[in-house]
Amino acid sequence: MADGSGVDVVMAMAFTADGDNVLLGCRSGAVELRSLEGQLRFRQQPKMHHIQRVAVTPDGRVLLMLSGNTIHLWSASGASLGRIDTTVCEGCSTNTMVVSPDGEL
């Protein structure tokens, strides 16, 4: 988890429902899915602000990451599933996100 300086800071983390993996969101804007043993499952480094929050759907199929006013969605294999703009008013910012228990975003 490096931003070019060799150091990065984890800003958010969420465990998958099975407890086998952890999703990490970093200050550099990177998002990583790792096994509890540290094995990298996938890493994305989109051009964006630092990661504020991460979440995983209960079935573990969709990984979510909040950066700025945008929620980015990925499959558990790392394929982009799109994004959701959360801007509700001028000057507003999004600070958190939650996934419903049934996994329907």
Q: What is the pLDDT of residues 54-74, one digit of tens each?
A: 999 998 889 998 888 888 898
Report the domain count for the chain.
1
> Would residue 51 count as lying in a domain?
yes
Confidence of residue 29 (pLDDT cuts 50, 70, 90): confident
User: What's the pTM value of the predicted model, to 2 decimals?
Assistant: 0.81
Give yes or no for residue 105 having a pLDDT over 50.
yes
Of 71, 78, 68, give the one whose Cα is nearest residue 21: 78
pLDDT at position 48 is 62
Bridge partner residues of 61 (DSSP): none
CATH of the domain at 19: 2.40.10.480
pLDDT confidence of residue 1: 45
Question: Is 56 among the domain residues?
Answer: yes
CA 102, 25, 36: angle at the middle one, nearest 5? 75
Going by pLDDT thresholds of 50, 70 and 90, the confidence category of residue 76 is confident
Q: Tell me if 14 is assigned to some domain.
A: yes
